[in-house]
Structure 1
């Protein structure tokens, strides 16, 4: 089954939702960053949560999320677009041997920073202190506080012994209260998402229609429910734009004048490493000068 993100609305309950299967793109990113199982578990679920939230943005907008913690896990950064294109990093990518508990992984109080952009222009940004010791729950809490929109996210990830395809499944669902939503009903549905039986629905693969079963569980015994309105479907995909002219220009122009003079004097190609895709780009001195002069 290919990765997919589906947006919709529970009519009558006034709840928006997004469901995503991100198995392939999470597998790719876990391999790129050579994550151990602990880091892969955290990173993969954050990727899914980011796809879910970004999918609800207006066309063309992107969401940058930066999780920062004072524990052994220092940061997770994900850049995701309305079209479900994304890239991300986790630091460090090995946690199993340096952290043996949640407290050691996350430390005390962390912080989530989000920036919404449109064509390179910052539309809005927000920062929220977080301390739930789970990056997905911290993320949902952040939006409930920063956007004043009741939000709940459930994201699961499972693994296999296959080193080339370590991620067996990665999916999740997000719900948000729309105007006129009864918050007592929203809370009832949030509690359903916390149950083990609900998690078991998300673990099913092999082509079964997970979304249908998930929605059936969410609306069970909700008398105000009318129908499930399915919106657009998009395919989550890893895309890194580190090779773009704009990115090269930003990086090269950040080099100080003394450093530029040293680069020209040595006349050796400049190597630029991308932390998102792990590619190394070589830029000749002639190309550097072209960027510096523009």
Structure 2
């Protein structure tokens, strides 16, 4: 089953929704970064939350999201665009041997920062306290507090014992209150979103085309005489895709001082540069470094 993302509105209640399956995205990220089970679980939840938020973006826009905590989990960083193409990393990527408890994982607190950008400028940015000590709930809190849009999210992750196919399922659901939404009703939907039945449905693979209807109807059970009127459209096919390239890596290397570049050229050794977002390794030859230095000097001349 391919990953997918739907967006829509629960019409009677004026609630924006996004629902997605991100199994492939998470699998590709876990394999790329070789994360251990604890780090994989956290990265999976953050990536799924990022995908669920992508329908909030317009054309040529993307979010850069950063979670920073005070415990053994130091940070998670990701970028996601309007097509649900996402990349990200977690630090450290090996957590099992360090974490003794949930308290030691997150420490005493942290912060969540989100920046919305285009290819030419930063549109807006904000930071909130990561008071809930959960990557998904802390991002929902960010949108509720910083953007003043009541938001709730849930993401469920399942793993296989196979190191070559480590992710069995990952899917999630986000709801947001539109301007005419009754906030008391939204709180009821939030409780429904976190119900045992919704979590159970998100923990099993969609076996029928209308699986999402069962998920939303389970959420609506928290509302007496609920009316099910859900209008969905395809919002994209989530992909773990990095924007790194040899050209961009060369631009980064060009920032190094001339003397440092000259020393690397004279050593006649390869320069290895790893992309943090996808763990791809670039190896620059002395000739490539020489070209970078010559280009840099010609521009500054």
Q: Normalising TM by the smaller chain, what interval? A: over 0.9
Aligned residues: 293
Counterpart contact for 1:204–1:210, Cα < 8 Å: no
Counterpart contact for 1:11–1:225, Cα < 8 Å: no
Q: Which runs of 4+ in 1 moved over 6 A?
A: none
**Aligned residue number for residue 13 of structure 1:** 13
Counterpart contact for 2:254–2:293, Cα < 8 Å: no
**Aligned residue number for residue 279 of structure 2:** 278
**Aligned residue number for residue 251 of structure 1:** 252
Counterpart contact for 2:8–2:232, Cα < 8 Å: yes
Q: Distance in 2 between matches of 1:112 and 1:291?
A: 39
Q: Distance in 2 between matches of 1:113 and 1:254?
A: 26
- TM-fit CA distance, 1:200: 0.4
**Aligned residue number for residue 188 of structure 2:** 188
**Aligned residue number for residue 119 of structure 2:** 119
- TM-fit CA distance, 1:130: 1.2
**Cα deviations by residue, 1:92-126 (Å, 9 ceiling, x for unpaired):** 11112211211100001101111111114211111
**Cα deviations by residue, 1:183-215 (Å, 9 ceiling, x for unpaired):** 001000000111111100111215333311112
- TM-fit CA distance, 1:249: 4.9
Structure 2 SS opposite 1:12: helix
**Aligned residue number for residue 167 of structure 1:** 167
Structure 1 SS opposite 2:56: coil
CA distance change for structure 1 residues 155 and 117 in 2, over 3 Å: closer, same or farther? same
- TM-fit CA distance, 1:230: 1.0
- Normalising by structure 1, we get a TM-score of 0.93
Q: Distance in 1 between matches of 2:140 and 2:207?
A: 28
Q: Distance in 1 between matches of 2:294 and 2:154?
A: 48
- TM-fit CA distance, 1:224: 7.0
Structure 2 SS opposite 1:171: strand
Q: Distance in 2 between matches of 1:110 and 1:120?
A: 30
Q: Distance in 2 between matches of 1:8 and 1:222?
A: 22
**Aligned residue number for residue 142 of structure 2:** 142
Counterpart contact for 1:113–1:127, Cα < 8 Å: yes
Structure 1 SS opposite 2:292: helix
Unaligned 5+ segments in structure 1 are none
- Normalising by structure 2, we get a TM-score of 0.91
Counterpart contact for 2:51–2:80, Cα < 8 Å: yes
Map of 1:89-104 to 2, 5 A cutoff?
89-104=89-104
Q: Distance in 2 between matches of 1:200 and 1:26?
A: 20
Unaligned 5+ segments in structure 2 are none
- TM-fit CA distance, 1:56: 2.1
